[in-house]
Amino acid sequence: MGKRVAIVQSSYIPWKGYFDLINGVDEFILLDDVQYSRADWRNRNRIKTPEGTAWLTIPVKVKGRYYQQIRDVEVSDRKWPNRHWKSICSNYAKAPCFEAARTLLHGLYAECGEETHLSRINFRFLRAIADLLDIGTPITWSTDYGSEASGRTERLVHLCSQAGASEYLSGPAAKAYLNENLFRQEGIRVCWMDYGGYPAYDQMFSPPFIHEVSIIDLILNEGPEGAKACMLSFPPASVSRKGGDLR
């Protein structure tokens, strides 16, 4: 069998589609040595509240650092974990699976308070949540390989080749710029994620129901097994709707 790889910039507590992408590949590479983009998903995400959605944002140092790479981005205020945890508690304390998840999430936020760099924080959350969902895909870094390719697609192709990939799985937004011919020239097949089939779940503060919020929302409302039942990369027969062990 061939090896399927995805290459994506790290995000803070991303939505369920991000974890579907992780679960759909044999190796998930965090593209960490590219320029950090402000007002993006690298350091923030949304949760549900009675007033609508609210941003949880990790404060980072950006002044005078316009061309810094993601891996170099530093946290500017080490008290952010307390603020985020309080916000989650105040909005999800009555969620069906909050109590079961409390110890796990509180411990994760406490640990991340010791981290100085955004990439390491994102990695901790990605690995912990993936493990909770029984997603064992290795999560690696682009810097583990290194690449001198300069073009956007060329760099992805080079990383895939170094990782021994025969398939590259991408989110649909990349269709706007990805040159599939460059992958074909290296014998790599491009596959596309389709996020159009997600079912609704019992989401607090709905309507309106919103798919594009942090995976935390799904886990606190449905538990890990219920969360997997709401994701596209898990066979329906392998999961049940509610509950599950939050290790």
Look at residue 238 in the predicted model and tell me its pLDDT.
Answer: 55
Per-residue pLDDT of the chain (247 residues; tens, 9 = 90+): 799 999 999 999 999 999 999 999 999 999 999 999 988 999 999 999 999 999 999 999 999 998 999 999 999 999 999 999 999 999 999 999 999 999 999 999 999 999 999 999 999 999 999 999 999 999 999 999 976 667 889 999 999 999 999 999 999 999 999 999 999 999 999 999 999 999 999 999 999 999 999 999 999 999 999 999 999 999 875 555 444 444 4
Containing H/E element for 125? Answer: helix 118-132
Q: Per the omega criterion (within 30 degrees of 0), is the bond before 207 cis? A: yes
Do 88 and 216 form a contact (C-beta atoms < 8 A)? yes
Bridge-based pairing state of the strands 27-30 and 4-8: parallel
Picking from 236, 193, 230, 227, the residue whose alpha carbon sits closest to that of residue 4 is: 193
Query: How much is the pTM?
Result: 0.93
208 CB-near residues (< 8 Å, 6+ apart): none
Gap between the Cα atoms of 213 and 88, Å rounded? 13
Cα–Cα distance measured from residue 112 to residue 189, given in angstroms and rounded to the nearest whole number:
37
Model pLDDT, residue 68:
96
Closest CA to 33 of 71, 75, 6: 71
Q: What's the CA angle centered on 170, arms 168 and 176, to 5 degrees?
A: 120
> Using CA atoms, how far apart are residues 169 and 7, in angstroms rounded to an integer?
8
Per-residue pLDDT at 39: 84
The pLDDT of residue 237 is 55
Q: How far apart are the first and last CA of the chain?
A: 32
